[in-house]
Every structure is written in structure tokens, then in C-alpha cells.
Amino acid sequence: MKTYVTLCVLTIICMGAASAGIKKGATMQVKANSIWFQEVAKFDHWQNLKRSGNSEAAASYQENALSHRDAWQFLKPLTVKILVYEPTKHRVNVEMKTPGRMLGTTWFLDTEALEP
């Protein structure tokens, strides 16, 4: 029982440490090849598929979303500003800060896409 409690506490501490740097207004880097969505409903559907463990369905949805430009995948790390952070949903709403034609656009990302 003690081992289980210790494991739970360590897991919570690690999760908190990983997301400690994510705060509204923070400027952060998004990992290369991350999946970006402009519509929250499509992001939520993709994220639910991804977290369900059905990798085939998640990959199929992702491929379809990318091909229809419902989702985007950028090849290089990009700079964003955190607009909204929802830790329970593992979701951030961000504004693109990297210069270029996407500057100022807003996106939804999984928190795993952010550099620590």
C-alpha cells in the first residue's frame, strides 16, 4: 500500500513539474512536427482518439485532418504565446509569434507539443 501511495505522489509531482512552465501569457516553443488545430472540436476529437489507445483510428483521423487542412503540421519548432491553458484537458490555446504568414493566428495544441 505504501508503495502505491508513494508512486501516486511521485506521478503527481512529475506531472506538475512538466507543466509548471505553462502559464497564460508565457512565450514557449512548440516541438517540430506537432499537430496544430484551429477548431477546438476537431482538436478534441483527435486528442480523444489519440488518448484512447486506438492508434490506427488516431492516425487515420490525423492523416485525413492534415489532408483537408483541418490540422497543420509544421516542420520546425515555432514560438507561441499561451492564451489559455487547460491542464485537465491537456490543452493550450496559443497565438503564433514566429514571423511569417501565420503570425497572429490562433491554434489549439496538446500540452505534450510544448518544449519544456
- For the chain, what are the domain ranges? 23-113
The C-alpha angle with vertex 67 and arms to 94 and 61, in degrees rounded to 5, equals 75
* One pLDDT digit (tens) per residue for the chain, 116 residues: 555 444 444 444 444 444 568 999 999 999 999 999 999 999 999 999 999 999 999 999 999 999 999 999 999 999 999 999 999 999 999 999 999 999 999 999 999 999 98
Phi-psi region of 33 (alpha: psi -120 to 50; beta: other; left: phi over 0): left
Rounded CA gap, 114 and 78, in Å?
A: 10
SS3 36: strand
Asked if residue 71 lies in contact with residue 58, where contact means CB atoms within 8 angstroms, the answer is no
pTM: 0.81
